[in-house]
Amino acid sequence: MYETGSRILSGFPKKVSVIDVGPRDGLQSEPGYVSISDKVALVNGLIDAGVRHLEVTSFVSPRAVPQMQDAAEVLDGIDRSKGAVLTALVPNEKGAERAVEAGVDAMVVFMSASESHNLKNVNRTRDQSLAGFEAICRIAEAAKIDVYGAIATSFGCPFEGDVPVADVVEIARAYRDMGITMLSLGDTTGMATPPLVAERVRALGEAVPEADIALHFHNTRGVGLVCVYAGLMEGVTRFEASVGGLGGCPFVPRATGNICTEDLVYMLDECGVETGIDLKKLIAVSQRAEGVIGRSLPGQVMKAGHRLDLHPMDAVRTANG
């Protein structure tokens, strides 16, 4: 039920964590190199706006993802005085060792629920990916660094179609057995729908009750925020988004960007859900990011502003007749 004035929807959590993955997931597929100073300014701007959890880079091979060649330098330049948690994607032992040396707060391992997408994305079978994560977990444990587990194509695969919920549960259980309980269900392909979100969140709640689930949606088919709404109704309190709506997977045909951070924060604000993020500052960060990238980004609130931002009547012409 919608309560006029307080704007609180029954069944929603009172507070959620918004994780901005734009500096990594958003920038990694950009064709033009974004400078270290611009990346650092982007992260610091997000932190200043109140974002307290960010995926800032990845320790992958520079040959595979040239945009992430400066991972250590970017981390070194970030202002850590406000206590933001800085995570980085790591694909293998070498990447984990580099991440430890650079001082990440947490590592993110990733694989696809779909066998074919995993082969396209990381050139490994699912079993090979899981086997490699055990070494990463040992390195992280020795360094007292947390490991989060991402499951891409959790809601569908562009090569196989529907992904059985049992496959997602199987990977979540494997993560748990390695000591990974912070999980992210990735909608890499933009194939998520509200019924699929409810089904998968409930299945993981039953099979892996110790898991803390985050949802990561792309807006490929325009229902990203609707899927967030479905996740909120299931009690999910962690959502990943990308500043300005940056992003897109190079291994998914016709993929588009992640749901937009400021659009997500606007919706949550209007639903009475606390994020701790200053929307006006966040919009300014997105607008600066658009200038750095050099093209219009898909975020809507950065263009339209808040719904109660008023305009003088002479800002538009008066109709004739």
Q: Would you name the residues annotated as active-site residues? A: 249
Q: Per the structure block, which two tokens stand in for 79?
A: 């202002």
Going by C-beta distance under 8 Å and a sequence separation of 6 or more, which residues neighbour residue 33?
66, 67
Q: Tokens 């202002």, residue?
A: 79
Look up residue 234 and give its two tokens: 């299931």
Q: Residue 120 has which token pair?
A: 């396209």
What is the SS3 assignment for 315? helix
- Distance (Å, whole) CA 314 – CA 139: 63
Supply the DSSP symbol for 124: S
SS3 content of the chain, % helix, strand, coil (to 5): 40, 15, 40
DSSP state of 248: -
Cβ–Cβ under 8 Å, residues 257 and 26? yes
Distance CA 275, CA 237 (A): 10
What residues are paired with 87 via a beta bridge?
55, 106
**Taking each helix axis from N to C terminus, what angle separates 261-270 and 279-293, rounded to the nearest 10 degrees?**
160
